[in-house]
Chain A
Protein backbone atom coordinates (compact mmCIF):
# COMPACT_ATOMS: atom_id res chain seq x y z
CA UNK A 1 0.00 0.00 0.00
CA UNK A 2 1.12 3.50 -0.72
CA UNK A 3 1.51 6.21 1.89
CA UNK A 4 2.18 9.92 2.06
CA UNK A 5 4.25 11.79 4.62
CA UNK A 6 4.11 15.54 4.94
CA UNK A 7 7.24 16.38 6.83
CA UNK A 8 6.02 19.56 8.53
CA UNK A 9 2.72 20.05 10.32
CA UNK A 10 3.22 23.85 10.28
CA UNK A 11 5.33 26.15 8.11
CA UNK A 12 5.65 29.85 8.82
CA UNK A 13 7.12 32.29 6.28
CA UNK A 14 7.13 36.04 5.82
CA UNK A 15 5.10 37.61 3.03
CA UNK A 16 7.23 37.90 -0.11
CA UNK A 17 9.61 35.05 0.81
CA UNK A 18 9.70 31.58 -0.80
CA UNK A 19 7.46 28.73 0.32
CA UNK A 20 8.51 25.08 0.56
CA UNK A 21 6.09 22.39 1.70
CA UNK A 22 7.63 18.94 1.79
CA UNK A 23 6.02 15.66 0.83
CA UNK A 24 7.40 12.15 0.55
CA UNK A 25 5.51 9.14 -0.70
CA UNK A 26 6.00 5.42 -0.85
CA UNK A 27 5.02 3.65 -4.02
CA UNK A 28 5.51 0.32 -5.69
CA UNK A 29 4.68 1.72 -9.11
CA UNK A 30 4.50 5.06 -10.89
CA UNK A 31 1.98 7.04 -8.88
CA UNK A 32 -0.31 9.95 -9.56
CA UNK A 33 0.33 12.74 -7.06
CA UNK A 34 -1.72 15.79 -6.16
CA UNK A 35 -1.57 18.87 -3.97
CA UNK A 36 -4.87 20.21 -2.60
CA UNK A 37 -5.42 23.38 -0.58
CA UNK A 38 -8.06 24.01 2.09
CA UNK A 39 -8.71 27.58 3.14
CA UNK A 40 -10.34 28.13 6.55
CA UNK A 41 -13.97 27.00 6.55
CA UNK A 42 -13.81 26.18 2.86
CA UNK A 43 -13.72 23.05 0.76
CA UNK A 44 -10.70 21.48 -0.90
CA UNK A 45 -9.30 22.83 -4.15
CA UNK A 46 -6.81 21.17 -6.49
CA UNK A 47 -3.55 23.12 -6.80
CA UNK A 48 -1.76 20.79 -9.21
CA UNK A 49 -1.27 17.16 -10.17
CA UNK A 50 1.41 14.86 -11.57
CA UNK A 51 0.33 11.99 -13.78
CA UNK A 52 3.58 10.72 -15.38
CA UNK A 53 4.06 13.56 -17.88
CA UNK A 54 6.51 16.43 -17.13
CA UNK A 55 8.16 16.07 -13.73
CA UNK A 56 7.87 19.81 -13.01
CA UNK A 57 4.21 20.60 -12.62
CA UNK A 58 2.82 24.11 -12.56
CA UNK A 59 -0.38 24.82 -10.69
CA UNK A 60 -2.66 27.67 -9.82
CA UNK A 61 -1.69 30.80 -7.88
CA UNK A 62 2.02 30.50 -8.76
CA UNK A 63 2.59 27.14 -7.06
CA UNK A 64 4.63 24.36 -8.61
CA UNK A 65 5.89 20.93 -7.59
CA UNK A 66 8.62 18.64 -8.82
CA UNK A 67 8.28 14.88 -8.95
CA UNK A 68 11.60 13.26 -7.99
CA UNK A 69 11.40 9.51 -8.30
CA UNK A 70 14.88 8.88 -6.88
CA UNK A 71 13.97 10.78 -3.73
CA UNK A 72 10.29 9.70 -3.68
CA UNK A 73 9.41 13.35 -3.13
CA UNK A 74 6.83 15.78 -4.46
CA UNK A 75 7.59 19.07 -2.70
CA UNK A 76 5.40 22.13 -3.28
CA UNK A 77 7.05 25.52 -3.84
CA UNK A 78 6.16 29.11 -4.54
CA UNK A 79 8.72 31.88 -5.13
CA UNK A 80 6.93 34.58 -3.15
CA UNK A 81 4.27 34.07 -0.50
CA UNK A 82 1.10 36.17 -0.31
CA UNK A 83 -1.15 36.62 2.68
CA UNK A 84 -3.91 34.86 0.74
CA UNK A 85 -1.78 31.67 0.66
CA UNK A 86 -2.44 31.06 4.37
CA UNK A 87 -4.26 27.72 4.38
CA UNK A 88 -3.77 24.01 4.93
CA UNK A 89 -2.10 22.06 2.14
CA UNK A 90 -2.51 18.34 1.52
CA UNK A 91 -0.24 16.05 -0.48
CA UNK A 92 -2.19 13.15 -1.97
CA UNK A 93 -1.25 9.94 -3.78
CA UNK A 94 -3.55 7.76 -5.82
CA UNK A 95 -3.40 4.11 -4.77
CA UNK A 96 -5.02 0.83 -5.71
CA UNK A 97 -7.31 -0.22 -2.88
CA UNK A 98 -8.00 -3.80 -1.76
CA UNK A 99 -10.88 -3.96 -4.23
CA UNK A 100 -8.47 -3.07 -7.09
CA UNK A 101 -10.02 0.36 -7.58
CA UNK A 102 -8.10 3.59 -7.22
CA UNK A 103 -8.55 5.76 -4.17
CA UNK A 104 -6.81 8.85 -2.83
CA UNK A 105 -4.48 8.52 0.15
CA UNK A 106 -4.09 11.84 1.98
CA UNK A 107 -1.17 13.25 3.90
CA UNK A 108 -1.80 14.74 7.35
CA UNK A 109 -1.63 18.29 6.00
CA UNK A 110 0.70 21.26 6.46
CA UNK A 111 -0.62 24.53 7.80
CA UNK A 112 1.01 27.46 6.03
CA UNK A 113 1.22 30.63 8.11
CA UNK A 114 2.15 33.92 6.42
CA UNK A 115 3.66 36.64 8.57
CA UNK A 116 3.15 40.24 7.45
Chain B
Protein backbone atom coordinates (compact mmCIF):
# COMPACT_ATOMS: atom_id res chain seq x y z
CA UNK B 1 0.00 0.00 0.00
CA UNK B 2 1.59 3.26 -1.20
CA UNK B 3 -0.53 5.53 0.98
CA UNK B 4 -2.05 7.25 -2.06
CA UNK B 5 -5.79 6.76 -2.40
CA UNK B 6 -7.98 7.24 -5.44
CA UNK B 7 -11.73 7.20 -5.84
CA UNK B 8 -13.70 5.80 -7.48
CA UNK B 9 -12.01 2.54 -8.51
CA UNK B 10 -14.23 2.14 -11.55
CA UNK B 11 -16.35 4.58 -13.51
CA UNK B 12 -18.64 3.87 -16.43
CA UNK B 13 -20.19 6.78 -18.28
CA UNK B 14 -21.41 7.88 -21.69
CA UNK B 15 -19.86 10.04 -24.38
CA UNK B 16 -20.31 13.75 -23.84
CA UNK B 17 -20.49 13.42 -20.07
CA UNK B 18 -18.25 14.91 -17.39
CA UNK B 19 -16.57 13.02 -14.52
CA UNK B 20 -14.37 13.90 -11.57
CA UNK B 21 -11.61 11.67 -10.28
CA UNK B 22 -10.26 12.20 -6.79
CA UNK B 23 -6.84 11.61 -5.28
CA UNK B 24 -5.48 11.90 -1.75
CA UNK B 25 -1.67 12.00 -1.56
CA UNK B 26 0.51 10.35 1.05
CA UNK B 27 0.60 12.19 4.34
CA UNK B 28 3.16 15.00 4.08
CA UNK B 29 3.55 14.91 0.29
CA UNK B 30 3.08 18.28 -1.39
CA UNK B 31 3.14 17.27 -5.05
CA UNK B 32 0.43 15.40 -6.92
CA UNK B 33 0.76 14.04 -10.45
CA UNK B 34 -1.87 12.69 -12.84
CA UNK B 35 -1.20 10.06 -15.49
CA UNK B 36 -3.28 8.34 -18.14
CA UNK B 37 -2.58 4.73 -19.11
CA UNK B 38 -4.22 3.50 -22.30
CA UNK B 39 -3.56 0.52 -24.54
CA UNK B 40 -2.55 2.57 -27.56
CA UNK B 41 -0.63 5.42 -25.88
CA UNK B 42 0.91 3.72 -22.87
CA UNK B 43 1.56 5.81 -19.77
CA UNK B 44 1.34 9.56 -20.33
CA UNK B 45 2.02 12.31 -17.84
CA UNK B 46 -0.88 14.75 -17.69
CA UNK B 47 -0.20 17.38 -15.04
CA UNK B 48 1.54 18.11 -11.73
CA UNK B 49 0.43 20.27 -8.83
CA UNK B 50 2.67 21.43 -6.02
CA UNK B 51 1.16 22.83 -2.85
CA UNK B 52 -1.95 24.01 -4.66
CA UNK B 53 -0.25 25.48 -7.73
CA UNK B 54 0.15 23.99 -11.18
CA UNK B 55 3.84 23.10 -11.65
CA UNK B 56 4.18 21.07 -14.85
CA UNK B 57 1.98 20.20 -17.75
CA UNK B 58 2.25 17.19 -20.01
CA UNK B 59 -0.07 15.82 -22.65
CA UNK B 60 -3.27 17.04 -21.06
CA UNK B 61 -6.20 17.80 -23.34
CA UNK B 62 -8.05 21.10 -23.06
CA UNK B 63 -11.19 19.13 -22.11
CA UNK B 64 -9.34 17.96 -19.00
CA UNK B 65 -8.53 20.08 -15.98
CA UNK B 66 -7.21 19.52 -12.49
CA UNK B 67 -6.82 21.30 -9.21
CA UNK B 68 -5.22 20.76 -5.83
CA UNK B 69 -7.06 21.91 -2.75
CA UNK B 70 -5.70 23.42 0.51
CA UNK B 71 -5.82 20.00 2.18
CA UNK B 72 -3.61 18.81 -0.75
CA UNK B 73 -6.09 16.37 -2.24
CA UNK B 74 -6.51 16.73 -5.98
CA UNK B 75 -9.27 16.29 -8.52
CA UNK B 76 -9.02 15.58 -12.22
CA UNK B 77 -12.03 16.73 -14.22
CA UNK B 78 -12.69 15.15 -17.60
CA UNK B 79 -15.42 16.72 -19.74
CA UNK B 80 -17.05 16.13 -23.13
CA UNK B 81 -15.89 12.57 -22.82
CA UNK B 82 -15.03 10.55 -25.92
CA UNK B 83 -14.63 6.82 -26.42
CA UNK B 84 -10.86 7.32 -26.63
CA UNK B 85 -10.75 8.70 -23.10
CA UNK B 86 -11.36 5.20 -21.76
CA UNK B 87 -8.23 4.43 -19.78
CA UNK B 88 -6.71 3.87 -16.38
CA UNK B 89 -6.00 7.16 -14.63
CA UNK B 90 -3.29 7.16 -11.99
CA UNK B 91 -2.49 9.69 -9.37
CA UNK B 92 0.96 9.83 -7.77
CA UNK B 93 2.47 11.94 -5.04
CA UNK B 94 5.96 12.93 -3.94
CA UNK B 95 7.46 14.86 -1.09
CA UNK B 96 7.93 18.13 -2.96
CA UNK B 97 8.55 17.49 -6.68
CA UNK B 98 11.34 20.03 -6.87
CA UNK B 99 14.43 17.78 -6.70
CA UNK B 100 15.40 17.98 -10.34
CA UNK B 101 13.34 14.97 -11.37
CA UNK B 102 15.04 12.62 -8.91
CA UNK B 103 12.17 12.13 -6.50
CA UNK B 104 10.32 8.89 -6.09
CA UNK B 105 6.68 9.13 -7.01
CA UNK B 106 4.22 6.93 -5.11
CA UNK B 107 1.26 5.74 -7.13
CA UNK B 108 -2.33 5.12 -6.21
CA UNK B 109 -4.27 2.06 -7.42
CA UNK B 110 -5.87 4.00 -10.27
CA UNK B 111 -9.37 4.76 -11.52
CA UNK B 112 -10.54 2.72 -14.48
CA UNK B 113 -12.74 4.85 -16.73
CA UNK B 114 -14.94 3.31 -19.39
CA UNK B 115 -16.72 5.63 -21.80
CA UNK B 116 -19.55 3.99 -23.73
Contact = CB atoms under 8 A, between A and B. Distances in A.
A95 B42 CA distance: 17
B99 to A, nearest CB: 8
A45 B108 CA distance: 9
A97 B56 contact: yes
B43 interface: yes
Interface stretch (A11-19, A73-81, A98-106): A98-106
Interface residues of B, number: 23
A71 B42 CA distance: 25
Contacts of A42: 109
A87 interface: no
Interface residues of A, number: 25
A109 B39 CA distance: 11
Nearest to B2: A43
B56 A99 contact: yes
A45 B104 CA distance: 10
A57 interface: no
Contacts of B57: 97, 99
Interface in A46-69: 46, 49, 51
Contacts of B105: 46, 104
B18 interface: no
B102 interface: yes
B86 interface: no
Which of B58, B101, B108, B110: most chain A CB closer than 10 A?
B101
Interface of B: 2, 4, 42-45, 48, 55-58, 90, 92, 100-102, 104-110
Given A32-B101, A103-B58, A109-B42, 6 more contacts: A32-B100, A43-B4, A43-B90, A46-B104, A102-B100, A103-B56
30 contacts: A32-B100, A42-B109, A43-B2, A43-B90, A43-B107, A43-B108, A43-B109, A44-B90, A44-B92, A45-B2, A46-B105, A49-B104, A90-B43, A94-B100, A94-B102, A97-B57, A97-B58, A99-B56, A99-B57, A101-B55, A101-B56, A102-B100, A102-B101, A103-B45, A104-B101, A105-B45, A106-B42, A106-B44, A108-B42, A109-B43
